[in-house]
Amino acid sequence: MTSTSTVGPGGTTEQVAPPPQRPPATPRRRRPGTLRRHAWQYVFLAPMLLLFVAFTLWPMVASWWYSFFDWDGVGPATEWVGFANFTEVLTSGRFWHAFRNSFLFSLVAICVEMPLALLVAILLNSRRLRGRNLYRLLLFLPVVTTTAVVGIVFAVLLDPAGGFINELLRSTGLVDSPVTFLSESSALPTVMAIDVWKGFGITLVYWLAALQTVPEDLYEASKVDGANGPQTLRHVTIPVIAPIGVVILLLTFQRSMNPFDLVQAMTQAGPNYATDVVATYIYRYAFNPELNAPRYGFACAAGVVFGVITLVMTALQGPLLRRQYLKGSR
Amino acid sequence: MRRMHLWHLLLIPLCLAWIYPFVWMISTAFKSEREVFLGGLSVLPKEWTLDNFTRAWDTAHFGTYLSNTVVFSVTTVAIVLLVSATSGYALGRGSLPGKKVIVGLLIATMFIPHGYTIIPIFKLVDGLGLNNGLLGAVLATAGPAHVVPILLFMGYFAGMPQELEDAARMDGASYPRIFFRIMLPLAKPVIGTVALFNFMAAWNAFFIPLVFTLGRPELRTLGVGMYSFFGQEATDWGGLAAAATISLLPIIAIFLFLQRTFVEGIAGAVKS
Amino acid sequence: MMEPELTRRSLLRILGVGAAATAVGGLTTACNLVGSSDKPSGDKVRIKVMLVPDPTGASQFYREQFDRFEEKNPDIEVQIIENPTDQQVNAIELSFQQGDPPDVFRAQDNGFDRIFDRGWIAPLDQYVTDEFTSRFPEGSLDPATSGLHRDGKLYTLPLVWGKWSVVRFLLVNNTAAKVGGVTTAPKTWEELEQAAAAITRAGGGRTFGFAGLWSKSNLARMFQHTAGPSSIDNGIDLRTGRAAINHPSLAAAVDLLTRMHAAKTMTPGWESWTDASKVHTAFAKGELAMFLAAPYQINEVRKLNPQLDMTIAAVPVPAAGRGGYSGQTASFSPLWSMSAQSKHPEQAWKVMDFLASKDFHRAYYEKFGTLTALESAWQDKAASNADQKAIMDIAAETVRLIPNPVLASKGGKELMSAIRGKQDLQWSEIALPAILRNQPFDRAAADLNAKLDAFIDEQAKAISAKGTPASRADLTFPTWNPLQPFNPSQK
């Protein structure tokens, strides 16, 4: 029915099977023509490659270079210190603590936010639910709410002395003494929960998009077979959206690695560094206005170490995700 | 059918609680300074005032900042769209030698933390002599590879039927013509998605616009202006709330407009 | 299934909105994309002033003041560049790197030295006249103690009164305190502890006895200053030149807070406060009975509740007696500076001169209630204002000059800069965990103390190797008695 419209929500999955490009044998032999044949493609790639080299690759390489200097970010970097910054990063307890927190943020986003958002997306995807567009908008609002404002509102709401949530908990008799949500021991889970709240709308929209790809007739068929809700979810919905799920996973992972704004607005990495993440750690050394001299070289080293480890971890999961992605799209 | 109604019992209170901070922001924007601090959490102001808005408008120069933000965001989005659509097309269709390397490199840089690379970027833009206008900030925002948009376009274009392209080529259409006349118009859902996301990010951006407009405060954007409410000694909550309210309205309008395209864009690109 | 149609329409709509918005905003700003070289009108000289619009209302205030200045100096146009507080120093540095620095800028304390060390600040001595000097309290511009001189030359001008940034108070909300039967402001740590407990007990979860903002470990410092040499702020006892994180006065201050936190007589959640507004609000509402305040906080509280029945008292001292005072290291703190690269130094100085004029200081005082550097601008009025009188009296009672290694020698300056820059060796890193986890402070303090001492030795060597002789002697002022004001000629 929609074979030409390419993406119409009604497109079926089996159409997708082998991508149309890549004719199997020939191109190898036609070497001389390759460049000319692809000339336009390279022209189309050029702007991106140019910007990529200038604004991604070069700053990265430059940061690698700076990480070998004791440098405050102003003027030429002259004081070569070899691997001293790296040994300091690698032996810094604070760095690993921040590192662990960064990953916990991702873990929560992936293990809590993603499944929850999927469930809500399934509910909001139902055509029979009235006002679902309004619900979508409401659930999306936190995404666009200014982070600085979020920090202030939650500090007021969660206040152990007279804050709304504690009043509620106390009046219902759930707790005797107020819960200190932002104390040293509970600040991290609290900020994580707020991070989930703030990012939920995005993940929800991703899942809603994914659900659009499930053909209506598959649902019909499953209903005819007498499957109930959870069964349909397991045997119809999830297999179809799994490949998109992999992409959403990557997107969520990337977003959740950097909760800088929220942490800075809520706790400024405190109390006692309980909510420190790598981004705030780097910020403290590179841009903290209270420093006599910023340690930009050291901050670069911390960024490099973090980047390399993240990359390795992603690369390790790569084959697994790839398999999932391909399996789903088959 | 009737079971669906039960969900409203759950969804309505959930959503109300969910958007409380947002509502608080709007109501605070209408409260007097004293009521903000001493009045607590009530949603309705005791006495309505527009003081915060006038303060936001004057002190934070919101008139100027608003038009700067529009220019900054629109230009940024335009560049991101153009660059990621062309490269997504080049990578998505036809087997390009070196494609795997390029895509691999792009994905690899996706996970490298940003922020601390600001100094090399600053030096670069400064060296290009672009530091006097918003273009420096635009390039610094739009320049770093936007991996997700590229992948979205790539996936979307890869999924388009070959016949479409073949037919056009048969008619003698050139590569750019096929792209701009046939392929790009079909990619509207992805365009909408990428536009929405990058617009939101550019609209709220703080660090880069700040760094690149240091010497020219008249070029600042709303995201930067917002921070003038954070003083060393005290934060002006009312002014901040008013400023945030003003700056959010366009974003919400755009979300409403683009919501549908957006959902299709992701679905379409990833499905292929 | 009609989605594509809708898509197209909504997309067109959005493009329309975008186009309209761009047209409106774009016409005015499009040229801003590449940047136009806008020249000041006529033959005016434009002076760029980079400042922080602080406190609330300062933005408007500075514009009005500079408008007045321009009226009197028709050949000068003042362009204000505002930055968020946290970004000001970074902003100044970047604008210098970019080759387009402001002519006059606000850089405080450490920030000033950061810029100064890069050689970007112009000396001002050539402009100073007798009339200029006479505006300041007598002797306060002495190069050895002004705090505004480096290497014997004047480099920066102050905004606030010297003691303003040093003096601290105990504020008591009398109405809230009365609930716990506390009718007079506590004079000793022990009284404070008991009063806080009594108020919290009687407050029934609505009112708490004591709280404060940990930021920069100020809370512990304010107590330590009453018990021992205040140079321990930086971990050093300047009488001996040795690390003193294990000094009993610091341990006692930390223990006091540990006890109060453990006994829950402090507002729950105080440790997570990052914004001083939180303290002011709680206090003005009567949910908090006592806190240690800087002078500006008195104004903030008054703004929230002008009728508040409050007592401004000195920070309590240990029952065993006072062991130290709040240490003033110089007559003033650096604030306004002039760029060494200014193309119009004469005109820039006129702006600087205006910022140090009696008119400006009087206007600043009247607008914000801040006691400014030129005492003569406000002294008469402040004496008849109860709050301000209390500030002055308590400052006289609790603030003393202390040695300042930064001003005393180049080696001292380099050493102090290295020590302050080393985050891991600051005692707040171990004090806060001790307080929150109710752990003993002594062992961690002894440990960190040894590390700091080793660091000082190592840095002294490294700095000397680079050509600036530096040693422990630069940090040692054997004749200093923390209970007496220090005179730099003493050394």
Name the 3-class secondary structure at C79: strand
Q: Report the percentage of chain B scoring pLDDT > 70.
A: 88
Contacts of C80 in chain B (CB under 8 A): 217
The residue type found at C475 is: L
Contacts of A213 in chain C (CB under 8 A): none
The residue type found at C196 is: A
Most confident of B189-193, B201-205, C241-245, C268-272: C241-245
Tell if the CB–CB gap between A293 and C275 is shorter than 8 Å: no
Q: Which of residues 232-251 of B touch C (CB under 8 A)?
A: 232-237, 239, 250
Give pLDDT tens digits along chain A (330 positions): 333 333 333 333 333 334 444 444 444 444 556 666 778 888 899 999 999 999 888 888 898 999 999 888 888 888 899 999 999 999 999 999 999 999 999 999 999 999 999 999 988 888 778 888 888 888 988 988 878 788 888 888 888 887 888 888 888 888 878 888 999 999 999 999 999 999 999 899 888 888 877 777 887 888 788 777 778 888 888 888 887 788 788 888 878 877 888 998 888 887 989 999 998 898 888 877 777 678 889 999 998 998 888 888 877 877 777 776 666 544
Contacts of C280 in chain A (CB under 8 A): none
| Same domain (yes/no): C341, C418 | no
Residue A148: closest CA among A266, A269, A278: A266
Which of C53, C91, C98 is the closest to B228 by Cβ?
A: C53
Q: Which of residues 128-187 of B touch A (CB under 8 A)?
A: 139-140, 142-145, 148, 150-151, 156, 158-162, 164, 174-176, 179, 186
Average pLDDT, chain C: 89
Alpha-carbon distance values, C458 to A85, A297, C204, C425, C453 (Å): 17, 20, 53, 14, 9
Residue pairs spanning A and B at CB distance below 8 A: 262
| Same domain (yes/no): C444, C396 | no
Interface residues of A toward C, Cβ cutoff 8 Å, are 1-2, 5, 8-10, 73-75, 92, 94, 152, 155, 159-162, 178, 180-184, 187, 267-268, 270-272, 284, 287, 289-293, 295
| Same domain (yes/no): C203, C245 | yes
Do residues A280 and A263 touch, judged by C-beta distance below 8 A? yes
Cα Rg of chain C (Å, integer): 26
Tell if the CB–CB gap between A296 and B140 is shorter than 8 Å: no
Task: Report pLDDT for A48.
Answer: 92
pLDDT band at C168 (very low <50, low <70, confident <90, very high): very high
Task: Report pLDDT for C304.
Answer: 85
Q: Report the percentage of chain C scoring pLDDT > 90.
A: 70
Number of other CB atoms surrounding residue B80 within 10 Å: 25
Number of alpha helices (DSSP H) and beta strands (DSSP E) in chain C: 19, 15
Specify if B17 maps to a domain.
no
- Name the minimum distance, in Å, from the CA of B96 to any CA of chain C: 30
Specify if C19 maps to a domain.
no
Number of structural domains (chain B) is: 1
Tell if the CB–CB gap between A178 and C214 is shorter than 8 Å: no
Helices B118-127, C88-97: inter-axial angle, 10-degree rounding: 40
Q: Is B231 on the interface with A (CB under 8 A)?
A: no
- Which tens digit of pLDDT belongs to each residue from B127-170? 888 777 788 889 888 888 788 888 888 888 888 888 888 888 88
> Looking at per-residue confidence, does B46 or C263 come out higher?
C263
Q: Identify the CATH number of the domain in which residue B233 sits.
A: 1.10.3720.10
**Alpha helices (runs of H) in C136-186, residue ranges in sequence order:** 174-179
Tell me the ipTM for this assembly: 0.83
Q: Is C258 on the interface with A (CB under 8 A)?
A: no
| Same domain (yes/no): C213, C278 | yes
Which of A3, A5, A6, A66 to probe by mutation at the B interface, max B CB count within 10 Å?
A6
Give me the sign of the Cα torsion angle B180, B184, B188, B193.
Answer: negative
Strand partners, C46: C77
Q: Checking DSSP bridges between strand C45-51 and strand C310-314, what pairing results, if any?
A: unpaired
Print the domain residue range for C230. Answer: 166-325+409-491
Q: Is B101 on the interface with A (CB under 8 A)?
A: no
Q: Which of residues 320-349 of C touch A (CB under 8 A)?
A: none
Print the domain residue range for B197. Answer: 64-271
Specify if C128 maps to a domain.
yes
Strand partners, C466: none
Q: Among the three residues C373, C401, C429, which one is the final residue of a domain in this structure?
A: C401
Residue B241: closest CA among B36, B9, B82, B13: B36
Phi-psi region of A214 (alpha: psi -120 to 50; beta: other; left: phi over 0): beta
Which of C4, C216, C269 is the closest to A160 by Cβ?
A: C269
Number of structural domains (chain C) is: 2
Q: Tell me phi and psi for residue C293, to 5 degrees.
A: -125, 150
Specify if C102 maps to a domain.
yes
3-state secondary structure chain A: CCCCCCCCCCCCHHHHCCCCCCCCCHHHHHHHHHHHHCHHHHHHHHHHHHHHHHHHHHHHHHHHHHCCECCCCCCCCCCECCCHHHHHHHCCHHHHHHHHHHHHHHHHHHHHHHHHHHHHHHHHHCCCCCCHHHHHHHHHHHHHCCHHHHHHHHHHHCCCCCCHHHHHHHHCCCCCCCCCCCCCCCHHHHHHHHHHHHHHHHHHHHHHHHHHCCCHHHHHHHHHCCCCHHHHHHHHHHHHHHHHHHHHHHHHHHHHCCCHHHHHHHCCCCCCCCCCCHHHHHHHHHCCCCCCCCCHHHHHHHHHHHHHHHHHHHHHHHHHHHHHHHHHHC
Specify if B110 maps to a domain.
yes
Task: Report pLDDT for A330.
Answer: 45
C-alpha–C-alpha distance, residues B188 and B152, integer Å: 12
Strand partners, C47: C78
Tell if the CB–CB gap between C277 and B130 is shorter than 8 Å: no
Domains (range + CATH), chain A: 98-329 (1.10.3720.10)
C-alpha–C-alpha distance, residues A298 and A293, integer Å: 12
Q: What is the DSSP secondary structure assignment for residue C266, as one 8-state letter?
A: B
Q: What is the DSSP secondary structure assignment for residue C188, as one 8-state letter?
A: B
> Looking at per-residue confidence, does B99 or C4 come out higher?
B99
Specify if B196 maps to a domain.
yes
Q: Among the three residues C351, C381, C401, which one is the final residue of a domain in this structure?
A: C401
Specify if B222 maps to a domain.
yes
| Same domain (yes/no): C383, C279 | no
Strand partners, C400: C327
pLDDT band at C7 (very low <50, low <70, confident <90, very high): very low
Number of other CB atoms surrounding residue C39 within 10 Å: 8
Task: Report pLDDT for B8.
Answer: 84
| Same domain (yes/no): C221, C287 | yes
Tell if the CB–CB gap between A251 and B148 is shorter than 8 Å: yes
Q: What is the DSSP secondary structure assignment for residue C151, as one 8-state letter?
A: T
Contacts of C98 in chain B (CB under 8 A): 126, 131, 214-215
C-alpha–C-alpha distance, residues C423 and C434, integer Å: 17
Residue A144: closest CA among B207, B249, B259: B249
Name the 3-class secondary structure at C53: coil
Which of B6, B193, B270 to probe by mutation at the A interface, max A CB count within 10 Å?
B270
- Which tens digit of pLDDT belongs to each residue from C342-356? 999 999 999 999 999
Most confident of B130-144, B239-253, C141-155: C141-155
C-alpha–C-alpha distance, residues C253 and C231, integer Å: 15
Q: In what order do the strands lie in the sheet with C45-51?
A: C76-82, C45-51, C104-106, C336-338, C156-157
| Same domain (yes/no): C295, C415 | yes
Which of B156, B162, B241 is the closest to A20 by Cβ?
A: B162
The residue type found at A28 is: R
- Name the minimum distance, in Å, from the CA of A274 to any CA of chain C: 10
Cα Rg of chain B (Å, integer): 23
Which of A71, A170, A217, A292 to probe by mutation at the C interface, max C CB count within 10 Å?
A292
C-alpha–C-alpha distance, residues C269 and A182, integer Å: 7
- Which tens digit of pLDDT belongs to each residue from C285-299? 899 999 999 999 999
C-alpha–C-alpha distance, residues A209 and C484, integer Å: 73
Answer whether residue B181 shows pLDDT above 90: no
pLDDT band at C477 (very low <50, low <70, confident <90, very high): very high
For tokens 């729950």, the residue is: C268
Contacts of A162 in chain B (CB under 8 A): 40
| Same domain (yes/no): C231, C371 | no
Which of C14, C84, C100 is the closest to B228 by Cβ?
A: C84
Q: Checking DSSP bridges between strand C399-401 and strand C326-328, what pairing results, if any?
A: parallel
Chain A neighbors (3+ CB pairs < 8 Å): B, C
Task: Report pLDDT for A325.
Answer: 65
| Same domain (yes/no): C158, C170 | no
Do residues B184 and B168 touch, judged by C-beta distance below 8 A? no
Which of A74, A166, A284, A287 to probe by mutation at the C interface, max C CB count within 10 Å?
A74
- Name the minimum distance, in Å, from the CA of C182 to any CA of chain A: 21
Answer whether residue C3 shows pLDDT above 80: no
Which of A271, A287, A295 is the closest to C436 by Cβ?
A: A271
The residue type found at C470 is: A
Residue C435: closest CA among C166, C285, C253, C282: C253
| Same domain (yes/no): C307, C347 | no
Specify if B44 maps to a domain.
no
Answer whether residue C61 shows pLDDT above 70: yes
Q: Among the three residues C374, C401, C428, which one is the final residue of a domain in this structure?
A: C401
Written as six digits, the tokens of C71 are 């009226």
> Looking at per-residue confidence, does B270 or A145 come out higher?
A145
- Name the minimum distance, in Å, from the CA of B216 to any CA of chain C: 7
Q: Identify the CATH number of the domain in which residue C305 sits.
A: 3.40.190.10
Q: Is C97 on the interface with A (CB under 8 A)?
A: yes
Task: Report pLDDT for C388.
Answer: 94
Could you report how far apart the first and last alpha carbons of chain B are, in Å? 34
Task: Report pLDDT for C248.
Answer: 95
